[in-house]
Amino acid sequence: MIYLDNSATTKIGEEIFEAMLPWMKENFGNASSPYGLGRQARVAIEEAREEIASSINAHPAEIIFTSGGTESNNAILKSACIESDLTDSLLISAIEHHAVSHPAEWLATKGFALHTAPVDNIGKVVEHWPELLPSQRSLISFMHANNEIGIIQDISKIKARMPDTCFVHTDAVQSYGKIPIDIAQLGVDFLSISAHKIHGPKGIGAMFIRKGIDFKSHQHGGGQERNRRAGTESPALIVGFQHAARKAMKEMEQRHVHMRALQDHMRSLIREHIPQARINTKESHADCLPSILNVSFSDIQDGESILQLMDMANIAVSNGSACVSGSQQPSHVLQAIGLSDKEAKAAVRFSFCKDNTKDEVEQAVSQLKSIIDSMS
Ligand SMILES: Cc1ncc(COP(=O)(O)O)c(C=O)c1O
């Protein structure tokens, strides 16, 4: 099988899996227990917290473990509006993942004003976004890098134009481990990350909450995670996350170069062999992740079947977010950058990881060409 859907999830690294095993077998203690077995788990969790904090230049106390990107986004948006009463309204971008847009829409049903900032035809949030702020006490949630087209927002510039009375969150689930993230440089108040996009286990992620913010948990129960996320921590998942982050940080440069070469190669092959394809991922390296290439077709009636035919050829790709694949809904991200419903349905997202090869890219393009030729 050729797996080119690494933005949906990645294969767990062998040594990452191995590092988790002792924490599921002999070291099974509860990190909140006062005896040796519990203390051992506590030490492992705190070491992982330190390492993950340092990977984004944060302080360990600013890192709270969650079950992943979805929970981090939900916790931050809901807590900022409700439990912590930091904000009275929200401004999100038109291309947010549903893990941001859906909690934001839910908050709107509870009375919080919600405005959406459009994006331009490459996916950058429009320059006049400050005029769209619903109030001077808003939470702004603009994703760091988009999961369908790979566009990177200039979060530090966004932060610099924001009133001091507002808060800013960024969903960095796709960018973490692929491009450097420095909290001090980004200047955000909140940030979400997840392990399974970087060869770590599913079911673990973290939120960064800037020191000094009076953040109250939207989940009630035990006092774990400094009272900010109730529930027994999983040392195995946390250690897995730590090892995945360590490897991603160590290999970031070389992974980046490798994925960028695959992305560039695929772009030029598609241009040459499937000239009718519209390439929705911007070519400028500084503006796009190296891991995603999104293409669409205006003259294909039944866009969904492209994916099925690729699957039949044993090539795993998606048409955008894994959460909406198969839903027959046109991608809201592609619509936001100006594609018609038809084009937004006939889209393919290729997403790469360190393990993909040039040969896989060539096979995928050749298969896509035969599918498109047969459907045109
Ligand atoms: C941008 C973005 N945010 C959030 C999520 C959800 O993360 P998780 O799967 O860890 O809940 C994803 C997953 O695809 C994503 O791409």
Say whether 81 is catalytic.
Answer: no
- In sequence order, the β-bridge partners of residue 117 are 93
One domain, residues 283 and 260: yes
Q: 125 lies in which domain range? A: 14-250
Q: Is 204 in the pocket of ligand 1 (CB under 6 A)?
A: no
One domain, residues 216 and 319: no
**pLDDT at residue 193 greater than cutoff 90:** yes
Q: Which of 15-24, 138-147, 318-327 has the lowest mean pLDDT?
A: 318-327
**Average pLDDT for 135-162:** 97
Q: Is 205 in the pocket of ligand 1 (CB under 6 A)?
A: yes
One domain, residues 225 and 307: no
Mutate which of 67, 144, 153, 194 to test ligand 1's pocket (most atoms within 8 Å of Cβ)? 194
| pLDDT number for residue 323 | 47
Q: Calculate what percentage of the chain has a pLDDT beyond 70.
A: 98
Count of helix runs (H) and strand runs (E) in the chain: 13, 12
| Residue pair 286/258 in contact by the 8 Å Cβ criterion | no
One domain, residues 266 and 243: no
Residue that terminates a domain, selected from 250, 265, 280: 250
370 in helix, strand or coil? helix
CATH assignment at residue 355:
3.90.1150.10
| Residue pair 141/92 in contact by the 8 Å Cβ criterion | yes
| Residue pair 49/243 in contact by the 8 Å Cβ criterion | no
Mutate which of 73, 97, 101, 142 to test ligand 1's pocket (most atoms within 8 Å of Cβ)? 97
Instruction: Output the CA 370–ligand 1 centroid distance in Å.
Output: 32
34-66 pLDDT, tens digit each: 999 999 999 999 999 999 999 999 999 999 999
Residue that terminates a domain, selected from 233, 250, 267: 250
206-233 pLDDT, tens digit each: 999 999 999 999 899 999 999 999 999 9
Residue nearest to atom 4 of ligand 1 (CA): 69
One domain, residues 213 and 283: no
Sheet architecture: strand order including 278-279 = 278-279, 292-296, 347-351
Report the atom number in ligand 1 closest to the C-alpha of 99: 4
Report the atom number in ligand 1 closest to the C-alpha of 195: 10
71-116 pLDDT, tens digit each: 999 999 999 999 999 999 999 999 999 999 999 999 999 999 999 9
CATH assignment at residue 219:
3.40.640.10
One domain, residues 211 and 300: no
Q: Is 69 in the pocket of ligand 1 (CB under 6 A)?
A: yes
One domain, residues 278 and 305: yes
**Average pLDDT for 191-199:** 98
One domain, residues 240 and 279: no
Q: Is 194 in the pocket of ligand 1 (CB under 6 A)?
A: yes
One domain, residues 241 and 318: no
Residue that terminates a domain, selected from 225, 250, 275: 250
64 in helix, strand or coil? strand
Instruction: Output the CA 178–ligand 1 centroid distance in Å.
Output: 15
One domain, residues 256 and 201: no
**Token digits of residue 318:** 């998606």
Residue nearest to atom 8 of ligand 1 (CA): 69
One domain, residues 222 and 157: yes
| Residue pair 178/145 in contact by the 8 Å Cβ criterion | yes
One domain, residues 90 and 204: yes
Looking at the structure of the chain, the number of domains it has is: 2
How many Å apart are CA 239 and CA 24, to the nearest integer? 11
Q: Is 146 in the pocket of ligand 1 (CB under 6 A)?
A: no
How many Å apart are CA 240 and CA 246, to the nearest integer? 10
Q: Is 206 in the pocket of ligand 1 (CB under 6 A)?
A: no
The single residue listed with the structure tokens 């991608």 is 331
234-255 pLDDT, tens digit each: 999 999 999 999 999 999 999 9
| pLDDT number for residue 327 | 57
